[in-house]
Structures are given as C-alpha cells and as structure tokens.
Amino acid sequence: MKILPPDLDRDKLPRHVAAIMDGNGRWATQRGLPRAVGHRQGVDTLKDLLRCCKDWGIGTLTAYAFSTENWHRPLEEVNFLMVLFERVLHQELISLQQEGVQLHFAGDLSPLPYTLRQQMEEAMALTANNRAVVFNVAINYGSRSEIVKACREIAQRVQAGTLNPTDIDEGLFAQHLYTAATGDPDLLVRTSGEMRTSAIFYCGNWPTRKFTSPTCCGPTSIAVSFIKLCRIFKIASAVLAKCEAGSQLIEPV
C-alpha cells in the first residue's frame, strides 16, 4: 500500500489524473538500451501510479498510452506495443479485478488486433462493478478523430429526426466523446517533462480550470514526482479557487 504523505489531504487531491506516458523509448535509448526496455519500464511506472491513485483515494486515472499519431512509428515498434498491450492485460487482469479496478478503454478500437479488442471487452465486462478506482486507457485516441466521431454521431441523430439542432450544446456534445464516462481530468502529467498535450482532451473544459506540470517523471521516478505534483496541485487549487476563470501554469519543483 502507498501511504499518503502526512502533508497531503485526501480531500485536496485531484479526483482525476491524466498521464501522457511519454518518453519511455527515449529514456531507454539514452541509456544504450532497446526502446522495448523503456516501454516495459513504462508499464511498471503506470502500475505504480495506478496503485498510488487507488491507495490515496484518487477516483480516476487516465493513461494516454497510444495515440492516433503513433501509427507512424516504425512497424516493428508498433507491433511490439500491440503485443505488449495484450500481454500486460492478460497478465494483470486478475490482479486488477482483485484490487477493485474498473477498466475502460477510450479511442477508436476498431483498427486494433482482434485478439486485443476481445481481451479489452472481456476486461471491461469483468471489472464493470469494481469501485476502488477507475482506470481509463486511451489507446488509438486522438482528439481530432474524437471531434469527427462526435460530429458524425450528432449529425446522424439530426438526420434521423431524433435531435433538434437547437438542442445541441456543450453538454450534449460531451456525451458523444470517448471520455464521456470518465469526465475531465484535474491534473495532467507528461512523464517526459515536455509542456505539450499532443492530441489529448481538446474537447474537454479542463484547460480553463486545470493545470499541467512539466515535472519530468521518467519511467522510473514517478512515485517521488507524483508526490511533488500533488503538493503543487494543493497549492494551485487554492489559488485557482480565487480566480473567476483561466488556467494557471505551475513551475516545476
């Protein structure tokens, strides 16, 4: 069990953390290791972060694991990642079930290998009633494709006569996003330390009231960095609560 540091208050922690699992391959390359080693280490990092969220009472963790842009990587690396996703899901599912983790997968899953899609469906069905923590894995996810998907579905409803165009608002649009079931994150972490969100969460309203952190966690130091981030979040939340609107950029500690 991950013990909550005494200076952190459960009630002032983020309720939903999103993590862009970035930089694993570069981390390995910089150490003269195969990129595959970095990806495997990234899995262990994610497991550690999920355990922190569960033990500290953070309700939802979204892991941005594979974007629509990642298909442009070398075929060998893409194939390795698909096999890795399938292998990890198979190996960890029973443990996730026992720990009360509810699994969701966000993104266009149709291009994924059939066996992987089948495992995902089985995992979601098996863990549907779990309540300890929600683990949302964004795979083949991109906000541009998400916007297109939402617009297409709404247009089909209008064309079918089941939706009046005047009833279209932000709330209805959000219902058609991949992230509809999990909502917007309070804290966005990019483990490589870069200050960019890539193609994630363009549609949510979180940028107007949340913040990102450039703290570099890397695939081996997430626990220490996450504690720092939660401390920053505690301070930033108090500051943002006094603001009518706008986002706050937090410097790394």
- Looking from the CA of 128 toward its CB, the CA atoms found within 13 Å total 6
SS (H, E, C) 148-201: HHHHHHHHHHHHCCCCCHHHCCHHHHHCCCHHHHCCCCCEEEECCCCCCCCCCC
Of 179, 240, 231, the C-alpha closest to 209 is 240
Alpha-carbon torsion (23, 29, 35, 37), positive or negative = negative
191: CB partners within 8 A, 6+ apart: 19, 20, 21, 22, 23, 24, 42, 45, 216, 217, 218, 219, 222
Count Cβ atoms within 10 A of the Cβ of residue 215 and give its class: 0-12 exposed, 13-18 middle, 19 or more buried.
buried
Write down the catalytic residue from 48, 70, 108, 130: 70
Q: What tokens were used for 40?
A: 């495997």
What phi and psi values does residue 63 have, to the nearest 5 degrees?
-110, 120
Q: Mark whether 164 is an active-site residue.
A: no
Q: To the nearest 10°, report the CA torsion of 104, 247, 225, 203.
A: 20
Write down the catalytic residue from 7, 9, 11, 22: 22
Q: Mark whether 22 is an active-site residue.
A: yes
Catalytic machinery residues: 22, 70
